[in-house]
Amino acid sequence: MPAGKEFDPDVDYYKLLEVEYNSTHEDIRRQYRKKALKVHPDKNPSPDAAALFHALSQAYEVLTDTQAKLAYDNVIKARVERSKRHSEMDSKRRAARDELEAREKAAKKRKTDEMDAEAKYKAELARMRESSGRRMQEEEEELRKMMEEEEQAVVPQASEMDCTLKIKWKKKKRTFEQTELASLFGKFGPVDAVVMTKQGSALVVFKSIVGAHAAITSQDTHPDLAIFETIDWATGKEPAIVAKLGVALKNNSVKTASESIETSKLDYATLSTHTSNLSSKSKPLFGGGPAAKPLFRAFGNAPAPMSFGNAPKTSDEDYETVTLMKLREAERRRLAEKVREEEKL
């Protein structure tokens, strides 16, 4: 470049003179004169006018000198290419950055979706377990109720010994004959036989377990039984059928009176059936030989208990007997509970 034709590579001379890269010298001169007249220090009092006029003069000299213009254009071209490369690099970096951010966002979303799916799975699994546990509990409860109902529906068989009481009294104070004992205990139900075992004791065989139960539950309240030291079941324990009636009485304590009577009818019908079956199939437990009658007969053939009057026995009297048996048992329990409460005080 010729001496004196220095230029500032940071200044865009084309933009300063408002000319194109391929503008002619005449176009450049015209633009220079137009711009120079506006910023000449003699005509423009602005403090920047001199610097701007100097820049315009330098731009005119460089762009109108072929060699100087070529050198300036090479510098500008290199600067433009460098700027372009930087721009492209920035664009690639932005693209890479955007891609990285997109990947991170997608990974974060994927992780969030996985966590949400796992949480939903665990919640659903917990719900299913709870539902399954509740359903199993309901099924177990239903099965338990069914088993209880089936167990309650099964009426224990009344054996011959279940209708027999063993009584004891003091021989020195009192003596009894068979007929006398039969008459005394006949107040509670038909007596089939009385067997004197040893001094001061006997076995009283009732035709029905109802009569035996009535007698044994009345030993503490009936004055005629006060003479006896003990009145107990011949087997030494309460028959299963009596225990079942006690459970039924406890379970039905909140039922109405009509419901209790209907239950008593069914219980007595069951008792009658079992007693009839035993009378027809079993051999007598007590008696004097082959001619002895069976211990238990059907209730329909038995004479009426003395305590209930001399009127002919009817089905109403039958189930009333069972009802009375239940009422006696309930009263006995109530009195026992009352005594226990008083003892606590």
Q: What is the CATH number of the domain that holds 177?
A: 3.30.70.330
Kindly tell me if the per-residue pLDDT of 194 is higher than 70: yes
Kindly tell me if the per-residue pLDDT of 29 is higher than 60: yes
84 close to 76: Cβ distance less than 8 angstroms? no
204 located within any domain: yes
Q: How confident is the model at residue 65 (pLDDT cuts 50, 70, 90)?
A: confident
* More confident: 187 or 321: 187
Q: What is the pLDDT of residue 205?
A: 93
Q: What is the pLDDT of residue 274?
A: 46
Q: What is the pLDDT of residue 241?
A: 81
The predicted model gives 302-317 an average pLDDT of 39
Q: What is the pLDDT of residue 5?
A: 59
Q: What is the pLDDT of residue 3?
A: 45
Domains: count for the chain = 1
The predicted model gives 248-260 an average pLDDT of 50
56 located within any domain: no
229 located within any domain: yes
Q: What is the pLDDT of residue 324?
A: 61
57 located within any domain: no
Q: What is the pLDDT of residue 288?
A: 39
Q: How confident is the model at residue 250 (pLDDT cuts 50, 70, 90)?
A: low
Rounded Cα distance, 135 and 207, in Å: 50
- Which helix (H) or strand (E) covers residue 331, if one does? helix 315-344
8 located within any domain: no
Alpha helices in 22-177 (DSSP H): 25-39, 49-64, 66-153
Q: What is the pTM of this model?
A: 0.37
Q: Which of 320, 314, 308 is nearest to 265 (CA)?
A: 320
- Structural domain of 229: 160-344
The predicted model gives 1-8 an average pLDDT of 57
Least confident span in 134-143, 249-258, 290-299: 290-299
* More confident: 295 or 99: 99
Alpha carbon of residue 170 to chain centroid: 63
Least confident span in 1-5, 122-126, 129-133, 307-311: 307-311
Q: Which amino acid would we find at residue 45?
A: P
Least confident span in 16-30, 189-203, 310-324: 310-324
Rounded Cα distance, 73 and 329, in Å: 127
52 located within any domain: no
First and final C-alpha spacing in the chain: 132
55 located within any domain: no
Q: How confident is the model at residue 172 (pLDDT cuts 50, 70, 90)?
A: confident
Q: What is the pLDDT of residue 297?
A: 35
Kindly tell me if the per-residue pLDDT of 54 is higher than 60: yes
210 located within any domain: yes
What CA–CA distances, in Å, run from 171 to 10, 183, 220, 228?
Answer: 146, 19, 20, 10
Q: What is the pLDDT of residue 107?
A: 92
Q: How confident is the model at residue 292 (pLDDT cuts 50, 70, 90)?
A: very low
